[in-house]
Amino acid sequence: MAHDKLKSGGLLIKGGHVIDPAGKIDGPMDVLLHDGRVADVAPPNKIRGSADQTLNARGLVVTPGFIDLHVHLREPGQSYKETIASGTAAAAAGGFTSVCCMPNTSPVVDSVEWVTWLQQPQRGAVVNVFPIAAATQASKGAVLTDFRGLQRAGAVGVSDDGRPILNETTMRDTLRLAAEINLPVIQHAEDTRLTDNCSMNESSTSFRLGLRGMKVAAEAAIVDRDVQLAQQFAGARLHVAHLSTADALKAVRRGKRSKAHVTCEVTPHHFTLTDADVGEYNTYCKMNPPLRSAADREALIVALADGTVDAIATDHAPHATHEKIIEFEKAMFGITGLETALGLAITRLHREHRIPLARIVELFTAGPARVVELRGRGTLARGSHADVTIFDPKKRWTFEAAKSHSKSNNSPFDGWHFTGKVVATIVSGKIVYRSN
């Protein structure tokens, strides 16, 4: 049986509601996948060609496979937190068919060898893995890496994520050289000179808890500077990672109005939680950038709706228990996010804030595909990769962190109720996740 399926292939997704913002499709459609590609998308029962496997998608939404621009798969070197196998299993369960993994591993992914290593089949990835390589050697901010070589090896962007490029000359050189080969530069915007010893957003909560607070300016000032630098080089592509403040949004809007190629992503936790959620030293609400004020959160939601934001990215950052169940100031920054992203987006953005489902799908598909130029992904156009996400926009469910596919369970959303659940995730025409 299994042998037959492998041989002939072909998967027909029948009776679903297709939302493909890239192809401007939003209606009842069947989708036929063949040989790892989209063979046809057509109104119900109008598909030409056949498949030996059919997936009934009645009542479900069928979209291009989700793309996450920002995950930490922790390999090489930190497999006690996550592996490529476990992280991509979590991605599949969250509806993501492609993930871009950050280079702040041990060692840092700053060479062709490591970029190649990440993509080898032995890693056991169940979804597509697109490496983001370090912009500078060991992400030390001094010597630039070999952008051309890294890109040829498969890197889709460069970033010193977690260790922002502070030096203006280095950032200028990074943007200039990356522009020559159309490579996006992804910046974790944080002026670390202003955030020393800080563990949350500067706010009434940080003052009350006696925690040193990060200032909004630490993010906004770097975004502002980077946007100005990006304007100086034709072809420079600046992508602002996990943008979290209203002030930084202003800089991005300025950049977008000018000729500069500036994009940005926002995480589900930043559009859902605020610094008040730190409550009584909840380390599962400790991340970098930190949770911000309610006004910042509202500004992010407006920007997600109006098109200023290009993508929802999770910043999935798994950590072991011993790195989180400790003193707040000592605890590692970051939370897991792959499996809760869609539930949060539908529950908060669609149901509460009335952002159309098609816009949310765009933020998970066409938007991120454009940021890192993943050709033939983020769309269901005929001939594109057969990466498909199927979800039930009305299904109510409860997230249990302990049952996560990730190796870690550092999520503030444990026990949260969501509306909107992934039903199936298909990569290259193969079902890699199916909910029961």
Contacts with other proteins, residue ranges (CB under 8 A): 196-197, 202-204, 206-212, 279-281, 322, 325-330
Tell the smallest beta-carbon distance from residue 207 to other proteins (Å): 4
Compare residues 195 and 340 and give the one whose CB is closer to other proteins: 195
Q: Strand 261-266 and strand 237-240: pairing?
A: parallel
Could you tell me how far CA 93 lies from the centroid of its own chain? 14
Tell the smallest beta-carbon distance from residue 288 to other proteins (Å): 18
In what order do the strands lie in the sheet containing 185-187? 66-71, 96-101, 128-133, 157-159, 185-187, 237-240, 261-266, 311-312
- CA separation for the pair 143, 155 (Å, rounded): 18
Enumerate the H helices of 103-245 as residue ranges: 112-118, 147-153, 168-180, 204-209, 216-230
User: Phi and psi dihedrals of 316, rounded to 5?
Assistant: -55, 115
Tell the smallest beta-carbon distance from residue 95 to other proteins (Å): 32
Q: What is the DSSP letter of 332?
A: P
Compare residues 232 and 321 and give the one whose CB is closer to other proteins: 321
Compare residues 140 and 330 and give the one whose CB is closer to other proteins: 330
- CA separation for the pair 229, 428 (Å, rounded): 38
Tell the smallest beta-carbon distance from residue 206 to other proteins (Å): 8
Compare residues 75 and 202 and give the one whose CB is closer to other proteins: 202
- CA separation for the pair 112, 133 (Å, rounded): 9
Beta bridge partners of residue 226, listed in sequence order: none
Tell the smallest beta-carbon distance from residue 327 to other proteins (Å): 4
Compare residues 3 and 196 and give the one whose CB is closer to other proteins: 196
Comparing CA positions, the residue from 98, 7, 95 lying closest to residue 53 is 7
Compare residues 18 and 200 and give the one whose CB is closer to other proteins: 200
Active-site hit among 30, 160, 161, 315: 315
Write the single-letter amino acid at 116. T
Q: Is 306 a catalytic residue?
A: no
Tell the smallest beta-carbon distance from residue 320 to other proteins (Å): 12
Tell the smallest beta-carbon distance from residue 287 to other proteins (Å): 17
Compare residues 199 and 263 and give the one whose CB is closer to other proteins: 199
Give me 383's structure tokens: 């001939």
Q: What is the DSSP letter of 192?
A: G
Give me 264's structure tokens: 């940005």
Are 82 and 74 within 8 A, CB to CB?
yes
Are 82 and 72 within 8 A, CB to CB?
yes
Could you tell me how far CA 418 lies from the centroid of its own chain? 19
Residues with a known catalytic role: 315
